[in-house]
């Protein structure tokens, strides 16, 4: 309940807060203070754990009916059977006897030490053949009531009426084609429309304490996942964000979606009590829509990493890397000397076994195909060369491999449509004292996967950043020495050289250390984050020209919206000051700025890939003028309306202010005499009309110039 509500309620009930002594209030005992939670989940969880307390008792039916003389013998047999399956409590076996005939009734109760043992005994001994006519029917005591109520006749189950779910894709149907973004600042998590026309964000949903650590969009933007003590939850829907599903995983730390957002991977690790031990890791894979846990993995952190400095408390996230494409078919895990590839049909290893690759340190999926690239460093002091290989899944066939010599490190970069793979190779110089970098470029879609070696013009340049153009054939590299490195653009195919990589341009001495391509390619932001205080250069790679240079002082994060129309730069709470974000147009014009203290996170809501075919897109691009006309008219209307509204707002504010001023003037006039008395009769009020602003224009004659124009004939 909001504070306002409480106050209103109190006023209604006639409670004066100042008279309430809060210390004297004694809350009813119990964790819920006697108030039942309306959250069903709390209820359910409790029930499942503390049922009636007879969970460790089973009922064994279809025992032989024996007279008193044979009672002990039968008892001995039953005890013998069930002692193998669990520890029966002392006096835990009770076989009732008919008081008239002194015959047993053909059943008995057995109490075990634990419910687990009882469960186990039930499962193992149900259907046990004592002899031909006596086949045990074993049930849990707790189930008995339920079983007794089962009707004798079978009833067809009633089909539940179909309740149409909310349209989870509704945000895509926004008639202004805006994008959404989520921000976290202070305790609040807010979702906004980025309304560039109105030059401000339009709130969609706001909730304080929505998540306990961070939020994340699913890769296609359908869900927003929040993290809680009890587990993760996904939110989405048509208008407001409603909770769609929950995934129980206590103390969940990290989450990851499969690329087609069918599965959610949750991660939890526990610091070991003994610092020498590895931390305990628990990973669960859920089906996003049904909420069912598909598989869980438990173990020490060593099993989920390759050792060395990991990302989060031992294991580097994401532990499971998903194969590209929307099918969510495979995911892979890298651990020491092994690559385990799972498939999602059965959630088990492909061919029931992992791939053994000695010393593998890095794997990387193609973003579109089920091809895994892996890197194995040099071994045996250089006797065995380092290796980069491409492996087809599920066949595990090696498509291509390349041996590399005197390598210190490798990094693999896939181009977003899976056409190219760039491997940045750091090699030792001959003296082994320093390293230099080069690239191995794989053309995946071509026959035999040709490899090309690219070296920078100056071999000794350090490579600071590398980025592929999304969906394109170009890449950008920042190389050279800080503080003013160079930026180069390369293309995998130009009109002259279709099969060769060629350099497009080098920009000298840029204040940049990070590259941000627009998701549609063509435009790139050369950003100088951290040490460069947020220098931004908006660059058009088609024309090779700078569109704008700007600065978002102290900027820490840059993110393009999914359409490549706008870009957000943010200062998050790693800095104390200036927290907030700025929205820019793709060409570097500030649209608006928002300042928020304790700003933690900004994330654009991703969009699923377009349904338009490439031909259709081309056609639209060709006839852009025709289509854009309508939108330009709309834009103009909005801007007219805005200025109109603005004028009205200003007028209202001015009027309101005038009212105050009039009131003050009147009061001031009223009090004139009293004031005069206070000032011992000095006529005082001269200050008001003494000064007034006058516009005075004056011209200075500075000099006179005479020009003699000679016509030269």
Partner 1 sequence: MTMECVNPEGLRLDARQLCMHISCMLNLAQIQNSSHQTLETRMTPILMKGHERPLTFLRYNRDGDLLFSCAKDHTPTLWLAHNGERLGTYRGHNGAVSCCDVSRDSSRLITGSADQTAKLWDVKSGKQLFTFNFGSSARSVDFSVGDHLAVITTDHFMGVSSAIHVKRIAEDPQDQVGDSVLVLQSPDGKKKINRAVWGPLNQTIVSGGEDTVIRIWDTETGKLLKQSDVEVGHKEAITSLCKAADDSHFLTGSHDKTAKLWDMRSLTLIKSYTTVVPVNAVAMSPLLNHVVLGGGQDASAVTTTDHRAGKFEAKFYDTILEEEIGGVKGHFGPINALAFNPDGKSFSSGGEDGYVRLHHFDSNYFNIKI
Tell me whether residue 176 or residue 649 sits nearer to partner 1 (CB atom). 649
Tell me whether residue 5 or residue 700 sits nearer to partner 1 (CB atom). 700
Site string for partner 1, 565-584 (x = CB under 8 A): -----------xxx------
Q: Are 396 and 332 in contact (CB under 8 A)?
A: no
Q: Which of 445, 463, 373 is nearest to 454 (CA)?
A: 463
Per CB under 8 A, 695 contacts partner 1 = yes
Q: Are 167 and 579 in contact (CB under 8 A)?
A: no
Tell me whether residue 206 or residue 679 sits nearer to partner 1 (CB atom). 679
Per CB under 8 A, 484 contacts partner 1 = no
Tell me whether residue 102 or residue 665 sits nearer to partner 1 (CB atom). 665
The only residue of 11, 41, 505, 595 in contact with partner 1, by rule CB under 8 A:
595
- Angle among Cα 444, 445, 448 to the nearest 5 degrees reads 70
Q: How far is the CB of 677 from partner 1 (least distance, A)?
A: 8
Site string for partner 1, 505-534 (x = CB under 8 A): ----------------------------x-
Contacts of 429 (CB under 8 A, 6+ apart): 435, 436
Q: Are 60 and 138 in contact (CB under 8 A)?
A: yes
Q: How far is the CB of 681 from partner 1 (least distance, A)?
A: 10
The only residue of 25, 175, 706, 713 in contact with partner 1, by rule CB under 8 A:
706
Tell me whether residue 577 or residue 621 sits nearer to partner 1 (CB atom). 577
Q: Which of 184, 183, 570 is nearest to 192 (CA)?
A: 183
Per CB under 8 A, 162 contacts partner 1 = no
Scanning 440-448, 453-461, 468-476, 687-695 for contacts with partner 1 by CB under 8 A, the matching segment is 687-695
Tell me whether residue 7 or residue 446 sits nearer to partner 1 (CB atom). 7
Tell me whether residue 181 or residue 554 sits nearer to partner 1 (CB atom). 554
Scanning 38-46, 171-179, 367-375, 688-696 for contacts with partner 1 by CB under 8 A, the matching segment is 688-696
Q: Are 649 and 642 in contact (CB under 8 A)?
A: no
Contacts of 425 (CB under 8 A, 6+ apart): 404, 407, 409, 410, 437, 438, 439, 440
d(CA 576, CA 556): 12
Q: Which of 367, 385, 366, 368 is nearest to 376 (CA)?
A: 385
The only residue of 674, 683, 689, 713 in contact with partner 1, by rule CB under 8 A:
674
Tell me whether residue 459 or residue 649 sits nearer to partner 1 (CB atom). 649
CA-based torsion, 46, 52, 57, 63: positive or negative: negative
d(CA 415, CA 474): 9
Q: Per CB under 8 A, which of residues 78..117 are in contact with partner 1? A: none
Q: Give the three-state DSSP class for 265.
A: strand
d(CA 535, CA 525): 10
The only residue of 554, 568, 591, 602 in contact with partner 1, by rule CB under 8 A:
554
Q: How far is the CB of 655 from partner 1 (least distance, A)?
A: 10
Per CB under 8 A, 407 contacts partner 1 = no
Per CB under 8 A, 2 contacts partner 1 = no
Tell me whether residue 455 or residue 656 sits nearer to partner 1 (CB atom). 656
Where are the alpha helices (H) located in 576-623, listed in sequence order? 614-622
Per CB under 8 A, 700 contacts partner 1 = yes
d(CA 391, CA 397): 6
Q: How far is the CB of 707 from partner 1 (least distance, A)?
A: 6
Q: How far is the CB of 654 from partner 1 (least distance, A)?
A: 6
Q: Per CB under 8 A, which of residues 611..670 are in contact with partner 1? A: 650, 653-654, 657, 660, 664-665, 667-668
Contacts of 421 (CB under 8 A, 6+ apart): 366, 373, 390, 412, 413, 414, 415, 441, 442, 444
User: What Cα–Cα distance (Å) separates residue 126 from each residue in 82, 133, 144?
Assistant: 11, 14, 15
Per CB under 8 A, 671 contacts partner 1 = yes
Q: How far is the CB of 593 from partner 1 (least distance, A)?
A: 10
The only residue of 27, 163, 683, 702 in contact with partner 1, by rule CB under 8 A:
702
Tell me whether residue 457 or residue 682 sits nearer to partner 1 (CB atom). 682
The only residue of 43, 144, 209, 553 in contact with partner 1, by rule CB under 8 A:
553
Q: How far is the CB of 534 from partner 1 (least distance, A)?
A: 10
Per CB under 8 A, 200 contacts partner 1 = no
Tell me whether residue 27 or residue 693 sits nearer to partner 1 (CB atom). 693
Per CB under 8 A, 683 contacts partner 1 = no
Tell me whether residue 298 or residue 530 sits nearer to partner 1 (CB atom). 530
Per CB under 8 A, 675 contacts partner 1 = yes
Question: Per residue, what are the HEC states of 659-692?
Answer: HHHHHHHHHHHHCHHHHHHHCCCCCCCCHHHHCC
User: What Cα–Cα distance (Å) separates residue 70 from each residue in 77, 93, 128, 334, 667?
Assistant: 11, 16, 21, 63, 111
Per CB under 8 A, 693 contacts partner 1 = yes
Size of the site for partner 1 (CB under 8 A): 39
Where are the alpha helices (H) located in 144-237, listed in sequence order? 144-148
Q: Are 664 and 688 in contact (CB under 8 A)?
A: no
Per CB under 8 A, 679 contacts partner 1 = yes
The only residue of 148, 159, 614, 709 in contact with partner 1, by rule CB under 8 A:
709
DSSP, res 336: T
Per CB under 8 A, 701 contacts partner 1 = yes
Q: Are 508 and 486 in contact (CB under 8 A)?
A: yes
Tell me whether residue 108 or residue 527 sits nearer to partner 1 (CB atom). 527
Tell me whether residue 612 or residue 661 sits nearer to partner 1 (CB atom). 661
Contacts of 336 (CB under 8 A, 6+ apart): 302, 306, 307
Tell me whether residue 177 or residue 661 sits nearer to partner 1 (CB atom). 661
Q: How far is the CB of 254 from partner 1 (least distance, A)?
A: 32
Scanning 93-101, 373-381, 602-610, 704-712 for contacts with partner 1 by CB under 8 A, the matching segment is 704-712
Main-chain phi, psi angles of 215, to 5 degrees: -125, 160
The only residue of 145, 448, 687, 689 in contact with partner 1, by rule CB under 8 A:
687
Q: Which of 571, 621, 633 is nearest to 598 (CA)?
A: 571
Q: Which of 428, 393, 422, 423 is nearest to 408 (CA)?
A: 428
Tell me whether residue 24 or residue 712 sits nearer to partner 1 (CB atom). 712
d(CA 453, CA 468): 16
Q: How far is the CB of 465 from partner 1 (least distance, A)?
A: 23
User: What Cα–Cα distance (Å) separates residue 415 from each residue in 441, 445, 476, 495, 518?
Assistant: 11, 12, 12, 20, 14
Convert 412-429 to b/e letters by CB count within 10 Å (16 or more is b). bbbbbbbbbbbbbbbbbe
Tell me whether residue 5 or residue 543 sits nearer to partner 1 (CB atom). 5
The only residue of 25, 163, 397, 704 in contact with partner 1, by rule CB under 8 A:
704
Q: Which residue has the tokens 């460093």?
A: 377
- Per CB under 8 A, residues contacting partner 1 are 533, 553-554, 576-578, 595, 650, 653-654, 657, 660, 664-665, 667-668, 671, 674-675, 678-680, 687-688, 691, 693, 695-696, 700-710
């Amino acid at each position: 309940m909001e504070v306002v509500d409480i106050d209103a309620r109190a006023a209604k009930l006639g409670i004066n807060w100042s008279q309430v002594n809060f210390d004297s209030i004694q809350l009813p005992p119990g964790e819920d203070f006697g108030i039942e939670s309306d959250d069903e989940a709390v209820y359910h969880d409790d029930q499942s754990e503390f049922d009636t307390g007879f969970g460790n008792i089973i009922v064994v039916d279809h025992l032989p009916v024996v007279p008193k003389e044979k009672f002990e013998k039968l008892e001995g047999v039953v005890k013998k059977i069930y002692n193998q399956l669990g520890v029966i409590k002392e006096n835990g076996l009770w076989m009732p006897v008919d008081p008239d005939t002194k015959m047993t009734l053909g059943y008995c109760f057995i109490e075990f030490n634990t419910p687990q043992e009882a469960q186990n005994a039930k499962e193992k001994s149900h259907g046990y053949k004592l002899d031909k006519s006596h086949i045990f029917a074993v049930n849990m005591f707790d189930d008995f009531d339920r079983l007794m109520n089962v009707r004798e006749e079978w009833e067809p189950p009633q089909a539940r009426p179909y309740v149409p779910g909310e349209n989870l894709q509704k945000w895509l149907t926004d008639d202004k084609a805006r994008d959404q973004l989520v921000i976290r600042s202070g305790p609040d998590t807010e979702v906004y429309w980025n309304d560039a026309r109105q030059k401000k964000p339009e709130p969609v949903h706001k909730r304080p304490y929505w998540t306990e650590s961070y939020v994340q969009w699913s890769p296609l933007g359908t869900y927003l996942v929040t993290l809680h003590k009890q587990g993760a939850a996904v939110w989405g829907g048509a208008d407001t964000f409603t909770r769609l599903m929950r995934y129980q995983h206590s103390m969940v730390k990290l989450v990851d979606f499969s690329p087609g957002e069918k599965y959610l991977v949750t991660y939890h690790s526990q610091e070991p009590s003994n610092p020498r031990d590895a931390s305990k890791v628990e990973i669960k894979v859920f089906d996003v829509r049904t909420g069912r846990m598909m598989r869980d993995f438990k173990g020490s952190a060593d099993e989920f990493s390759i050792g060395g400095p990991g990302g989060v408390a031992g294991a580097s996230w994401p532990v499971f890397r998903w194969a590209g494409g929307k099918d969510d078919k495979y995911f892979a895990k890298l651990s020491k000397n092994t690559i385990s590839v799972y498939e999602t049909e059965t959630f088990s290893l492909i061919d029931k076994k992992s791939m053994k690759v000695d010393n593998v340190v890095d794997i990387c999926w193609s973003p579109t195909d089920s091809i895994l690239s892996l890197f194995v460093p040099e071994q045996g002091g250089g006797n065995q060369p380092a290796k980069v290989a491409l492996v087809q899944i599920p066949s595990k066939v090696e498509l291509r491999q390349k041996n590399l010599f005197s390598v210190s490190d490798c990094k693999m970069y896939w181009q977003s449509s899976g056409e190219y793979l760039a491997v940045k190779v750091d090699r030792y110089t001959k003296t082994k004292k320093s390293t230099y970098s080069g690239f191995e470029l794989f053309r995946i879609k071509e026959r035999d996967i040709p490899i090309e070696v690219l070296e920078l013009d100056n071999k000794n340049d350090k490579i600071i950043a590398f980025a592929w153009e999304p969906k394109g054939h170009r890449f950008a590299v920042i190389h050279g020495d800080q503080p003013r490195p160079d930026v180069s653009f390369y293309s995998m195919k130009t009109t002259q050289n279709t099969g060769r990589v060629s350099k497009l341009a080098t920009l000298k001495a840029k204040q940049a250390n990070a590259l941000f391509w627009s998701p549609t390619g063509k435009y790139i932001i050369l950003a100088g984050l951290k040490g460069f205080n947020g220098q931004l250069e908006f660059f058009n790679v088609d024309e090779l020209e700078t569109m704008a240079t700007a600065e978002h002082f102290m900027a820490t994060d840059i993110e393009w919206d999914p359409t490549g129309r706008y870009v957000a730069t943010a200062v998050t709470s790693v800095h104390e000051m200036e927290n907030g974000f700025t929205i820019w147009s793709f060409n570097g014009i500030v649209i608006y700025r928002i300042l928020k203290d304790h700003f933690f996170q900004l994330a654009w809501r991703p969009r699923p890939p377009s349904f338009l075919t490439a031909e259709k897109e081309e056609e639209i691009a060709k006839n852009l003028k025709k289509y854009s006309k309508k939108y330009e008219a709309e834009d103009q209307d909005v801007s007219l309306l805005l200025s109109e509204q603005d004028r009205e707002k200003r007028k209202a504010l001015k009027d309101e202010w005038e009212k105050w001023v009039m009131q003050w003037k009147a009061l001031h006039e009223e009090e004139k005499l009293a004031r005069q008395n206070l000032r011992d009769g000095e006529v005082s009020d001269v200050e008001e009309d003494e000064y007034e602003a006058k516009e005075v224009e004056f011209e200075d004659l500075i000099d006179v110039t005479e020009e003699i124009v000679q016509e030269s004939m």
